[in-house]
Chains A and B, each alone.
Chain A
Amino acid sequence: MARVKFLCDTDRCIECNACATSCKNEHEVPWGMVRRRVVTINDGRPGEKSIAISCMHCTDAPCVAVCPVSTLYQTDIGVVLHDKDTCIGCGYCFYACPFGAPQFPRSTLFGSRGVMDKCTYCAGGPEENGSQAEFEKYGRNRIAEGKLPICAEVCSTRALLAGDGEVIGEIYRERVLARGFGSGAWGWKTAYYPQEA
């Protein structure tokens, strides 16, 4: 069984923000929230790196562990999904997330958070696959169509890879061998192998 992951090759990412833009468009993510974003490290200095980051769909996901109302759940391919009907906007997932993935609309009274939204790995949510209700709450369900997340499939430099961890890991290793350098899989230790030293 596949264990899907995200891998961003920082030596290839050119900070074009196409992943962030196509994600917002594909899922019609509301104003003020962003499921995928691009971070530039050491901007304007030697060793500058850009990296696209969203929910990494962690192993032993901390957000699922702290969710007090069972909104968050994980599927057998590793994708972490959320149920907007039960979310109470407590923000625990937001404090527990190492990657800042959970997003909250801040339009409600008292500045309280409202219902959480996060990257679904383009896999919708608990509503029926491909239904209008699912699209309105969670965006398009590309996994049910046998496709991979739009952010990776749209990436012009193939910096952002998505899909079975073994396959994309192999692609990345071949690439590093071919070009002779690589700065490694960013975030994988935190996301996928939290126990390893």
Chain B
Amino acid sequence: MTDATHGTPAQGGDRPAFVGYRIAGAIAAAVLFVLLVIQVFELFDNDNHTVPEVRWGAPPISSEQSGDSSVVAGEILADRAELQAPRAEFGPSPDNLRTFQVGSETQLVEEPIEDPNAFLTRSWSDPSQEELAMIRGVDRVEGVSSLPYVGAEIFERPFARDWRLGMADVATHLGALAILGFAFLLAAVLAIRGRVPITRGKSERRVKRFGMIERATHWMTSVSFLMLALTGIVIAYGDTLILPFGDELLGQTGWLATWGHMMFFPPFALGIAAMFVMWVRHNLPSKLDVAWLKQGGGMFSDDLHPSARKFNAGQKLIFWSVILGGGLLVVSGVLLMFPFWILSINGMGWAMLAHAIVAVLMIAIILGHIYIGSVGMQGAFWAMWTGRVDRNWAVEHHDLWVEELERGKGAGR
């Protein structure tokens, strides 16, 4: 990037083509397309059953028997369960038939199932006729409990089963789809549309766009958002992304992510509030924005440059999604950090779902912001880095702002 932005100024009409950017965009698009296909496959491969991963077995009792017997283990447990039957109906206590465990020696052992599959889960979900007759209907059942614990009075809340769908399917799968899909779109735009050049080439003159405090706030918020996003991704997708590298690693990154997620929340919240105060007056919607959006922000042609003041409609959209989305994330996150202080368990379930869904959408939106602010447009990055932008860039993208600025200062720089 330094090459393209710092290199010799392009002569008038001699626009940089940014071929390297297009190639990189195409490669990224191809990789993301593959990931996207994998994700779509994951959505429909129907493997979201809970599958038993560990089996119980009775150790071999003779040398002829090989391996632990799960049949014997099952018999031991079934015989033990029969002890609970009333003797009047089931005959004498069966303890003369089999030796029941009274000491504490180990009788059964566990070992991992080599090739876990959903066979057991399916057979369990299929009740016999007799069992069907025993089953009661379902509703949220609440009573009282003499035990002094939060939530002890709730017997059953079947809603939780649906929460799992919301979390495991909607938030996680569709979230991955949104992030990967949007990233693919951006890479494709870079490959096909190419990097947006400064049409008139670089001028030698620069104008001041953002002050020190504005830039510091922006970078504080963005670094903390990136860290929150990364730690959040570890929490939400650790099972997919990190587990293949080992249980141990997942446990450690998981803890790091949990605490990191808490740690980066205060600067993020502070940054959101500061940005709101600093920039809200520049971000109120106006008629210009409608015209800007109608022309697609001039995205589709190098020569089309709809008028804009300090912030154009696209930037206003980013601003409001950060303020509203980020605000929602902060509020729901704080509610979740203090379990039961304000919300009940159902309320916290909704807060968690909202937090997860808003978070994945925010990641997708911010990807777009990062794209257009760095590789997507020549000259845009320096607005937030040095605070000074090329005058030609400013005239092309923020003509009214430049006019106001120069009128205010007298026709100087």
Interface residues, chain A, with chain B CB atoms under 8 Å away: 1-4, 15, 17, 20, 32-34, 37-43, 51, 53, 58-62, 64-70, 73-78, 81, 85-86, 88-92, 94-100, 104, 106, 110-113, 129-130, 143-148, 152-153, 158, 161-175, 178, 182-190, 192-196
Q: Is the beta-carbon distance between A171 and B84 smaller than 8 angstroms?
A: yes
Q: Among the listed B104, B135, B339, which residue makes an inter-chain contact with A193, where contact means beta carbons less than 8 Å apart?
A: B135
B62 CB–A CB distance under 8 Å: no
CB A92 to nearest CB in B, in angstroms, measures: 6
Q: Among the listed B126, B255, B337, B348, which residue makes an inter-chain contact with A110, where contact means beta carbons less than 8 Å apart?
A: B337
Interface residues, chain B, with chain A CB atoms under 8 Å away: 48-56, 70-71, 73-78, 80-82, 84-86, 89-90, 100-101, 103-110, 113, 120-121, 124-127, 130-132, 134-138, 141-147, 149, 151-161, 163-164, 167-168, 235-239, 243, 247, 250-251, 254-255, 257-258, 262, 336-339, 341, 345, 348-349, 352
Best-surrounded residue of B160, B163, B255 (most CB of chain A within 10 A)? B160
Best-surrounded residue of A68, A144, A196 (most CB of chain B within 10 A)? A68
CB A115 to nearest CB in B, in angstroms, measures: 10
Q: A75-B56, A85-B251, A188-B134 are in contact. Are A91 and B108 (CB under 8 A)?
A: no
Q: A67–B250 Cα gap in the complex (Å)? A: 12
Interface Cβ pair total, 8 Å cutoff: 309
Chain B minimum-CB-distance residue to A129: B106
**What chain B residues lie within 8 Å of A161 (beta carbons)?**
81, 84
Q: Is the beta-carbon distance between A60 and B125 smaller than 8 angstroms?
A: yes
**What chain A residues lie within 8 Å of B239 (beta carbons)?**
67-70
Q: Among the listed A41, A89, A148, which residue makes an inter-chain contact with B77, where contact means beta carbons less than 8 Å apart?
A: A148
Q: A68–B103 Cα gap in the complex (Å)? A: 38
CB B164 to nearest CB in A, in angstroms, measures: 4
Q: Among the listed B77, B113, B237, B257, which residue makes an inter-chain contact with A164, where contact means beta carbons less than 8 Å apart?
A: B77
Q: A79–B257 Cα gap in the complex (Å)? A: 29
Q: Is the beta-carbon distance between A98 and B345 smaller than 8 angstroms?
A: no
**What chain B residues lie within 8 Å of A158 (beta carbons)?**
84, 86
Q: A2–B78 Cα gap in the complex (Å)? A: 7
Q: Is the beta-carbon distance between A65 and B254 smaller than 8 angstroms?
A: no
**What chain B residues lie within 8 Å of A170 (beta carbons)?**
85
Q: Is the beta-carbon distance between A143 and B108 smaller than 8 angstroms?
A: yes
Q: A118–B237 Cα gap in the complex (Å)? A: 23
Chain A minimum-CB-distance residue to B144: A43
Q: A60-B49, A144-B107, A189-B135 are in contact. Are A163 and B143 (CB under 8 A)?
A: no
CB A88 to nearest CB in B, in angstroms, measures: 4
Sampled A-B contacts (8; CB under 8 Å) = A60-B124, A76-B120, A95-B348, A96-B160, A145-B105, A162-B81, A174-B90, A193-B125
Q: A161–B239 Cα gap in the complex (Å)? A: 35
Q: Among the listed B78, B141, B339, which residue makes an inter-chain contact with A91, where contact means beta carbons less than 8 Å apart?
A: B339
CB B163 to nearest CB in A, in angstroms, measures: 5
Q: A92–B100 Cα gap in the complex (Å)? A: 39
Q: A73–B149 Cα gap in the complex (Å)? A: 26
Q: Is the beta-carbon distance between A143 and B156 smaller than 8 angstroms?
A: no
Q: Is the beta-carbon distance between A88 and B235 smaller than 8 angstroms?
A: yes
Given contacts A91-B352, A148-B77, A164-B77, 7 further A-B contacts (CB under 8 A): A43-B143, A61-B50, A68-B235, A110-B262, A163-B80, A172-B134, A194-B125
**What chain B residues lie within 8 Å of A77 (beta carbons)?**
56, 73-74, 77
Q: Is the beta-carbon distance between B54 and A75 smaller than 8 angstroms?
A: yes
**What chain A residues lie within 8 Å of B84 (beta carbons)?**
152-153, 158, 161-163, 168, 171
**What chain B residues lie within 8 Å of A58 (beta carbons)?**
50
**What chain B residues lie within 8 Å of A184 (beta carbons)?**
134-136
Chain A minimum-CB-distance residue to B341: A111
Q: A2–B57 Cα gap in the complex (Å)? A: 11
Q: A86–B238 Cα gap in the complex (Å)? A: 11
Q: A158–B82 Cα gap in the complex (Å)? A: 12
Chain A minimum-CB-distance residue to B236: A68
Q: Is the beta-carbon distance between B77 and A163 smaller than 8 angstroms?
A: yes
**What chain B residues lie within 8 Å of A62 (beta carbons)?**
50, 160-161, 163-164
Q: A196–B106 Cα gap in the complex (Å)? A: 37
